[in-house]
Every structure is written in structure tokens, then in C-alpha cells.
Chains A and B, each alone.
Chain A
Amino acid sequence: GESVGLHLPTLSVQEGDNSIINCAYSNSASDYFIWYKQESGKGPQFIIDIRSNMDKRQGQRVTVLLNKTVKHLSLQIAATQPGDSAVYFCAEPSGGTSYGKLTFGQGTILTVHP
């Protein structure tokens, strides 16, 4: 979803657990999504992206799942580490390109406890 003055939801996990962060979108024509990680006091960092012709994409310790039927995507982080603590955003570039202007989702604060 898109953020309009909402405060971010939070997720707390223990080190070593798997984390799942969710994102909903409203436009059924959306065909490209990016997940970003934002550490405190810094700008967003690219994590992984996915196009609508895929249901799943894997990276290093991260997996993104896309369910077009319910317009939902998730970011799964395996064996979560304290360094994963950050705010995670899904984002959609305009025009379905990798470089269009971004609309960010609400974001989720992930806290990993040692």
C-alpha cells in the first residue's frame, strides 16, 4: 500500500529466526516491485526486485514472493541477523521500468534481538 501520514508497523524477531515482511498494492496493472532496506539515518538501499511474470525470486538470504491474485508481495529474510535491523519498504517505479519515479509503501520496522 501507499503511505499517507501513517506510522510504520513493527516486527520483532530473535536472531536466527526467519522474518517475513508484507506489502500490499492496489493497482492490478503494477508489474515491477523493489524492496529497499533503510538503516537509521541513511538512505534506502536496494535489496531485491521482482517483475510480475515471476512469483518468486531469491537472493542471498532473501526471497521475494509475489501473489498477483491478491495483490500482495512479501520479503522473507532467512536466519535474521542483528545487522538486518532496519526499516523495509516495498516500492513501485512508475511505468514498470527499473528507473521510474518511486512510490513507496508504508514500510515495516524490523528489530532483531540477539
Chain B
Amino acid sequence: GAVVSQHPSWVICKSGTSVKIECRSLDFQATTMFWYRQFPKQSLMLMATSNEGSKATYEQGVEKDKFLINHASLTLSTLTVTSAHPEDSSFYICSARPNYSNQPQHFGDGTRLSIL
């Protein structure tokens, strides 16, 4: 149980394109999901906290207009990288916190984004 699915797992696109990444909790509901970014050989850095039915909370230094987050249901959060540029190339990972549970967050398997 407690599976988090991310889609796509890998995307390559041209500079200037907007890219949407989905994060789904498959067998549990999650009012709160998190989005992380990880550059090669580095640690995970929290970008934002996604809250179902309300605005996301962004970490300092993360541009909210660049990284649009929508959490319209209890099982789906999306991250849209708008007008992506090569410096946005990274590994984006989401996690979801099960409602009514003290379990730690469950992570998806990440999306590798490459901007040409």
C-alpha cells in the first residue's frame, strides 16, 4: 500500500516549452503533497508544499509563477514548469502525506526533466 505515482518519468523538450508533471496517490488520500528538486549528485531540496483546495506554499527562492502547482483533488497534485529553460533541467520528486495517519511521506519515483 501507500503508492505514489509520478508521470511522466522522463521528459525531454525544447527551451520555452511548459511541462506538466503529475503526482498521484494511488491507494490513499493526501491533502498535503510536497515537491522536491534534485540536481545530479546533490540532495533533495523542497520546492513547495501543495495543499488540496488552496494555494501552494513555496520555499524561499522558488518562483511561484515559474513553478505552478495545482492540487485539485485528494489524490492528484500537478507541477507545471512554465517556459522551461536548460537550467530547469533536474530530477523532480513528489511525496504525499496520507490523511489521518502518522506515517511519514511516501515518495514517487521522480521525473527527469531535460530541457534542450
Are both chains from one complex? Answer: yes
Q: Does B46 contact A (CB under 8 A)?
A: yes
On whether the beta carbons of A43 and B93 are closer than 8 Å, the reply is: yes
Tell me what chain A mostly uses at the interface: helix, strand, loop, or mixed. loop
- Chain A residues lying within 8 Å of B39, measured Cβ to Cβ, are 5
Which residues, 22 to 38 on A, are CB-close (under 8 Å) to B?
34
Given A43-B110, A99-B97, verify A106-B43 contact (CB < 8 Å): yes
On whether the beta carbons of B41 and A102 are closer than 8 Å, the reply is: no
A interface residues, tally (CB under 8 Å): 27
CA distance A103 to B88 in the complex (A): 21
CA distance A7 to B38 in the complex (A): 12
- Chain A residues lying within 8 Å of B78, measured Cβ to Cβ, are none
Given A41-B110, A99-B97, verify A3-B104 contact (CB < 8 Å): no
- Chain B residues lying within 8 Å of A97, measured Cβ to Cβ, are 102
**Which of A34, A44, A98, A109 touches B44 (beta carbons < 8 Å)?**
A44
On whether the beta carbons of B109 and A89 are closer than 8 Å, the reply is: no
Q: Does B42 contact A (CB under 8 A)?
A: yes
Q: Does A57 contact B (CB under 8 A)?
A: no
Q: Does B49 contact A (CB under 8 A)?
A: yes
On whether the beta carbons of A43 and B42 are closer than 8 Å, the reply is: no
Q: Does B67 contact A (CB under 8 A)?
A: no
